[in-house]
């Protein structure tokens, strides 16, 4: 339970942080909710840790017209309780409120969570459903990657060595839109065995827009495009939901086999869509 010795730097501005991580050999510490336990178990033995905790203004949450800007170091609690996020993209606030426990939400950060890219993390489902973008920067350059192209594999993202997640950009949800994050939580870890983030816009009796983000089911979060298409084209709920995860590889572990996970994903998708429909106006 005691980590291997390591060097520690706490830069006080972003430029300094970029210089420190430029060679890609040093490990970045955000909230430490994944890295510190791994270091204590000595599964992770970084030689040098760069702590972003003292870089100012990385936890801003701002409303810039149709897009909400959230700093990478905003904690899950910040996201959950921010008046701006609750009003403009409530799906993200609801998702944040489902992460881990109070202690984790107080320390853990949005940027840290997505850079770690656990295949069962909650945020990715909401970010792909919201068609969010990740702003990435290094000492030399800056780029913006759509969430769907950011999560590549388990623990693997589009981040290159020397790059940091600096901000997450989320288009504001329409006021008439219904939303829901529905998950089955692993009883010990709190991670999503499956998690479904749904957004629905109604038109008359039909569905004008559906976005379904799925986490925990496959190697990384993805949008259930076929389910979305069927919902938008007026197909029955059962038929639309049955297409979720069809032909996709599903994860399997001692807790839930691939088939059971696929089943769970459909059950939770049905629940998420039902709630989103009642919330839509």
Partner 1 sequence: MKIAGAHVLAVSQERAYALLQDPVVLGKSMPGCDSLEQIGDSQYHMKMKMMLASISGLFDGTVRIADRNPATSFRLIVEGAGKIGFMKGDGLLTLIPVDGGTNVQYEGSVEVGGTIAAVGQRLLDTTSKMIIKRFFDKLSAEVSSSGETTVTSTPSSTITS
Task: Note the residues at the interface with partner 1 (CB under 8 A).
Answer: 27, 34-35, 38-39, 41-46, 116-120, 153-156, 186, 189, 191, 219, 249, 251-255, 257-258
Residue 2 CB, shortest distance to partner 1, in Å, is 14
Residue 87 CB, shortest distance to partner 1, in Å, is 34
Residue 81 CB, shortest distance to partner 1, in Å, is 28
Within its chain, how far is the Cα of 151 from the centroid? 9
- The candidate with the shortest Cα–Cα distance to 211, out of 236, 184, 181, 191, is 181
Within its chain, how far is the Cα of 136 from the centroid? 15
Question: In sequence order, what E strands does 67-191 have?
Answer: 67-71, 133-137, 142-146, 151-153, 156-157, 164-171, 178-185
Among residues 116 and 279, whose Cβ is nearest to partner 1? 116
Among residues 15 and 252, whose Cβ is nearest to partner 1? 252
Phi–psi pair at 116, nearest 5 degrees: -70, -35
CB 213 within 8 A of CB 124: yes
Residue 146 CB, shortest distance to partner 1, in Å, is 21
Classified as helix, coil or strand, 28 is strand
Among residues 210 and 250, whose Cβ is nearest to partner 1? 250
- The candidate with the shortest Cα–Cα distance to 72, out of 23, 46, 38, 110, is 110
Among residues 56 and 154, whose Cβ is nearest to partner 1? 154
CB 181 within 8 A of CB 195: yes
Residue 116 CB, shortest distance to partner 1, in Å, is 6
Among residues 68 and 221, whose Cβ is nearest to partner 1? 221
Among residues 7 and 253, whose Cβ is nearest to partner 1? 253
- Partners of 202 in the beta sheet? 207
Residue 45 CB, shortest distance to partner 1, in Å, is 7
């Amino acid at each position: 339970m005691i980590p291997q010795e390591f060097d520690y730097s706490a830069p006080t501005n972003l430029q300094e942080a970029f210089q420190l991580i430029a060679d890609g050999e040093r490990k970045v510490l955000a909230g430490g909710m994944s890295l510190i336990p791994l270091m204590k178990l000595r599964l992770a033995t970084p030689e040098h840790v760069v702590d972003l905790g003292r870089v100012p203004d990385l936890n801003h949450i701002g409303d810039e017209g149709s897009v909400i800007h959230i700093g990478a170091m905003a904690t899950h609690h910040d996201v959950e309780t921010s008046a701006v996020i609750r009003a403009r993209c409530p799906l993200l606030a609801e998702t944040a409120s489902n992460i881990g426990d109070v202690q984790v939400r107080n320390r853990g950060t949005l940027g840290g969570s997505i850079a770690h890219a656990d295949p069962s993390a909650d945020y990715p489902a909401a970010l792909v459903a919201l068609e969010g973008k990740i702003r990435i920067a290094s000492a030399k350059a800056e780029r913006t990657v759509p969430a769907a192209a950011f999560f590549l594999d388990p623990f693997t993202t589009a981040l290159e060595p020397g790059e940091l997640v600096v901000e997450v950009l989320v288009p504001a949800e329409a006021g008439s839109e219904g939303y829901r994050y529905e998950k089955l939580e692993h009883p010990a870890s709190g991670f999503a065995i499956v998690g479904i983030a749904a957004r629905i816009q109604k038109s008359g009796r039909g569905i004008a827009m559906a976005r379904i983000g799925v986490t925990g089911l496959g190697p990384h979060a993805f949008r259930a495009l076929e389910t979305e298409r069927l919902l938008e084209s007026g197909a029955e709920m059962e038929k639309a939901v049955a297409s979720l995860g069809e032909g996709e590889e599903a994860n399997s572990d001692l807790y839930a086999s691939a088939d059971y996970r696929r089943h769970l994903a459909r059950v939770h998708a049905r629940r998420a869509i039902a709630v989103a429909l009642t919330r839509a106006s």
